[in-house]
Amino acid sequence: MSSTTTVLPLRNIPGSYGLPLLGSIKDRLDYFWFQGSDSFFRTRKLKYKSTVFRTNMPPSFPFFFDVNPKVVVLTDSKSFATLFDISTVEKKDVLVGDYMPSVNYTGKMRVLAYLDPSEPKHSLVKNFAIDVLKSSSKVWVSELFSNLDTMWSTIESDISNNGSSIFLVPLQKCLFRFLTKSLIGADPAARPEIGDGGFALLDKWLALQLLPTISIGVLQPLEEIFLHSFQYPFALVSGDYKKLYQFVEAEGKEVVEKGRKDYNLTTEEVIHNLLFILGFNAFGGFTIFLPKLISTIGGDKTGLQAKLREEVRKNKEPLGFDALRSLELVQSTVYEVLRLNPPVALQYARARKDFVLSSHDSAYEIRKGELLCGYQPLAMRDEMVFDRPDEFVPDRFTGEKGRKLLDYLFWSNGPQTATPGSSNKQCAAKDYVVATASLLVAWIFTRYDEFKCDDSSSAITSVVKAGEGK
């Protein structure tokens, strides 16, 4: 891409919000039913011949009111980057757009994800989160590998007994134990209801908050009527959340005390933020991303597994954070899956002031208070940045040229080359996510020569242990 500064033509933002009530209903039904989310954005991009356009975004409560958020959509990498400029945009209460789950789900307080960096509490909680991650690094790798061993032993047993293994539940159990012990220093086994079913408690807590914003593919129009037309009351999971809260309070005393003593947070602020980081950011994010990583590698028919296996087994260092420096293809594969399938597809921000937004070819006037909606799967398939943008290219981020592309990898609410801090909204665990996924891939190829996933990408159908292949 050229670095030459050019004056872009000022253009009115195309698109509209349609007629009152009817326009918002049409866009909502297109998004959830007739087109689906990806086609919703792609068709409008083509229709308006613009990567920036106006539309309505669901959810709306109740269905028959014209209250859909009216947004300016950004689908190219240049305009999308504006969402990270805190001097220009505000991030207060826009994690999932104009819709915000009840604060009852988070102890009647706004946790870190909903705070703007300009709010005093943001820096305290963000720095606390970064500190917790640094402290967890002492056990991160050992806990990950210990729980991977349990997970894949279960998968092997399922394949032996049933011919395949639907791996989501074993993965979630692995993630819950690993993250709870690493981040909170608490052993789920200390409480049977947490050790056996803690992952399911988090699943329900997450689902009730996000159901109004996602499509689950049930029979329409039942999904619109019962899932997208109202917020679910916290009372449905209050008992589950209380169990998780009491578990952290009793078993995670050291990290709770760190938040109280070093960051002047109350016990309630520490625990509710820890549960959100654990459940929403870490457990929820990995639950979306890692199955796609596993199924992409397991379903590949281009010889990728042989290349990954060779790179992993050439490494002479003990498998850990330091060893990742020599696993360039492994990390590039992780980056490429994140590029094509970011765990969070939509990024939101509200204009802090009037400003001029730039795409690659045009400029647009944005007014203070307008809600910006970035659709990440298109922004990271920008043909102005990425060759063959819709193809899975595992070695895309290797070499000097590939590393420069990390400036346009935005999955973490900021470019991969940036550093999370109290002055921005980038994921505090950005580097831990990449490292964890890379270690997962490397661990697999120290234990197995290959593995295969079925066409549905939800099940592993075979594994070949190291040394047992041809």
- pLDDT tens digits for range 381-433: 999 999 999 999 999 999 999 999 999 999 999 999 999 999 999 999 999 99
Cβ atoms 243, 76 nearer than 8 A: no
Q: Residue 2 domain-assigned?
A: no
Q: What is the pLDDT of residue 396?
A: 98
List CB contacts of 402: < 8 A, sequence separation 6 or more: 332, 395, 396
Q: List helix spans (H) across 390-460.
A: 399-404, 430-447
Q: What is the pLDDT of residue 180?
A: 98
Q: What is the dihedral of CA 185, 189, 192, 197, to 10 degrees?
A: 70
**Number of folded domains that form the chain:** 1
SS3 content of the chain, % helix, strand, coil (to 5): 55, 10, 35
Q: What is the pLDDT of residue 470?
A: 55
Q: What is the pLDDT of residue 158?
A: 97
Q: Residue 4 domain-assigned?
A: no
Tokens of 261: 């003593």
Q: What is the pLDDT of residue 68?
A: 55
How far is CA 119 from each of CA 12, 91, 276, 311, 369, rounded to the nearest angstrom? Answer: 33, 10, 18, 46, 17
Residue 117 exposed, middle or buried by CB count within 10 Å (0-12, 13-18, 19+): middle
HSE (side-chain half, CA atoms, 13 Å) at 391: 8
Residue 282 exposed, middle or buried by CB count within 10 Å (0-12, 13-18, 19+): buried
Q: What is the pLDDT of residue 2?
A: 43
Q: Is the dihedral of CA 188, 190, 196, 198 positive or negative?
A: negative
Tokens of 111: 């946790």
Q: What is the pLDDT of residue 219?
A: 83
Q: Residue 17 domain-assigned?
A: no
User: What stretches in the chain show pLDDT beneath 50?
Assistant: 1-3, 63-64, 66
Tell me the pTM: 0.95
Tell me the sheet residues that pair with 373. Answer: 73, 348
Tell me the sheet residues that pair with 365. Answer: 356
Q: What is the pLDDT of residue 3?
A: 46
HSE (side-chain half, CA atoms, 13 Å) at 337: 25
In whole angstroms, what is the distance from residue 397 CA to residue 416 CA?
Answer: 11
Q: What is the pLDDT of residue 1?
A: 46
Tell me the sheet residues that pair with 53. Answer: 73
- Domain membership of residue 49 as a residue range: 22-465
The SS3 of residue 56 is strand
Q: What is the CATH number of the domain that holds 171?
A: 1.10.630.10
Q: Residue 143 domain-assigned?
A: yes
